[in-house]
Amino acid sequence: MSTLTATPGTPESDQVAPARPAYRVTGRRVLASEWAKLWSLRSTWITLGLGLLFLVAFGVIAASHYKSGLTSGRPMDRDFATATAVSLSLFGTNFAQLALGVLGVLVTAGEYSTGMIRSTLAAVPRRLPVLWSKAAVYGLVALVVATAGTFPAFLVGGRIVTGTPAAMGLGHAGVVRSLLGAGLYLGLVGVIGVALGALLRSVAGGISVLVAALMLVPGLVSLLPSSWQGNIDPYLPSHAGESLFALTHDSTTLSPGAGLAVFLGWTVLALAGAAYRLVRSDV
């Protein structure tokens, strides 16, 4: 009878499986994850490009229209009669806010529509860091893109209206503040879009509410009695935001500081609603 001899080596009981590296959920890693997800989508590049195009193109078109109106001999449109190089160059802000706001909705609501949000929340069980990271990452991107569009729009538009009553340069009082204010406004619009997407969890619903808040509600308020309009109109999101980049102000508009405070209040309110639903309800 043959016997089995033990082969030299480590006993099986002493063999330990290699330890798997321990991964911790940190704020920096959540931010890095959201950054990677944002730039992996083709819609990000397309929509940001459209927002930048709207800012520059419509600003140049408005400046060209103003210049041609002066030399045509026809009466100037009321909206252009008191225009400045700043107001003309920022003419595309209303169009850019739609592009940047819609992309903000897609950043959060898009994950709900595809089901990817389950994987995201499984990796980050505390949930709220996901919302803060999405808002911070996209808000910063929207701010940079918007600011990168306002200054070229002003430089090109300002050159077009040189020698006209609307002409002014960067050195004029309030010009730089207006251009930076427009970038800040559009960045916060992007954050509101992120919050609406997380709150409503529907791309169509988030976009509808965003468009209604920024464009439809001001039109409805204009139908109210004038005594009511003065108490409501300045505090609407779009009008409070416009005070950030308006070159001049009067008794019917908020100052830049007050407008920023009001618009930040709307932003915080949207984020608070999104955070409440994210914590209280399942995916």
Mean pLDDT by 10 residues, the chain (283 residues): 49 52 76 92 92 95 87 70 89 94 95 89 89 96 96 94 88 93 97 96 95 92 83 91 89 89 97 94 72
Q: Which residues have CB under 8 Å from 67's CB, separation 6+?
A: 160, 161, 164
pLDDT of 20 reads 53
In terms of Cα–Cα distance, which of 200, 207, 237, 177 is closest to 47? 207
- Say if CB 274 and CB 131 are below 8 A apart: yes
The rounded distance, in Å, linking the Cα atoms of 65 and 80 is: 9
The rounded distance, in Å, linking the Cα atoms of 43 and 187 is: 18
> What DSSP assignment string belongs to 149-210?
HHHHHHHHHHHHTTTSTT---TTSTTHHHHHHHHHHHHHHHHHHHHHHHHHH--HHHHHHHH
pLDDT of 223 reads 86
pLDDT of 23 reads 62
pLDDT of 89 reads 94
The alpha carbon torsion through 93, 94, 95, 98 (nearest 10 deg) reads 110
pLDDT of 51 reads 95
pLDDT of 21 reads 54
pLDDT of 2 reads 47
